[in-house]
């Protein structure tokens, strides 16, 4: 339940950043980004579509997302999402608690966009 709420709030923060931050909008005008977060068993999943038109979010993971972050379980997802850092992400990859699906180059872009949420 905690992860579902956290992912829902993340969607609200992304929408707020789109409305308030011109740099965030400018980045999305260059190139949209479709990404998602899920647990490995897909019991909890949410996707985010960010483009020059706005940010939309929904439950589940469609097949056309460019990037997916898959976590071993909801506890490891919550721990990482509350305190994200490159070191924690690399440690999660090594421990196989996090799996990256899709274009890994989009991860850097996602990290730069997430810096705009407050």
Contacts made by residues 14-22, CB under 8 angstroms, sequence distance 24+? 14/48, 14/50, 14/55, 14/57, 14/117, 15/54, 15/55, 15/57, 16/117, 17/55, 17/116, 17/117, 17/118, 18/50, 18/54, 18/55, 21/116
In three-state secondary structure terms, 108 is helix
What is the CATH superfamily name and number for domain 2-114? Answer: SCP2 sterol-binding domain (3.30.1050.10)
pLDDT digits (tens, 9 = 90+) for 1-25: 899 999 999 999 999 999 999 999 9
CA distances from 67 to 21, 33, 78, 102 (A): 23, 8, 18, 5
Say if residues 57 and 46 touch (Cβ distance below 8 Å).
yes
pLDDT digits (tens, 9 = 90+) for 26-74: 999 999 999 999 999 999 999 999 999 999 999 999 988 999 999 999 9
pLDDT digits (tens, 9 = 90+) for 97-109: 999 999 888 988 9
């Amino acid at each position: 339940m905690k992860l579902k709420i956290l992912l829902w709030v993340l969607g609200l923060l992304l929408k707020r950043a789109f409305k308030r931050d011109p740099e965030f909008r400018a980045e999305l005008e260059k190139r949209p980004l479709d990404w998602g977060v899920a647990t490995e068993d897909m019991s909890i999943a949410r996707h985010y579509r960010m483009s020059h038109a706005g940010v939309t979010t929904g439950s589940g993971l469609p097949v056309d997302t460019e990037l997916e972050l898959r976590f071993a379980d909801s506890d490891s997802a919550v721990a990482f999402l509350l305190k994200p850092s490159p070191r924690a992400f690399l440690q999660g990859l090594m421990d196989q608690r996090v799996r990256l699906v899709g274009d890994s180059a989009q991860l850097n872009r996602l990290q730069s966009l997430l810096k705009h949420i407050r």
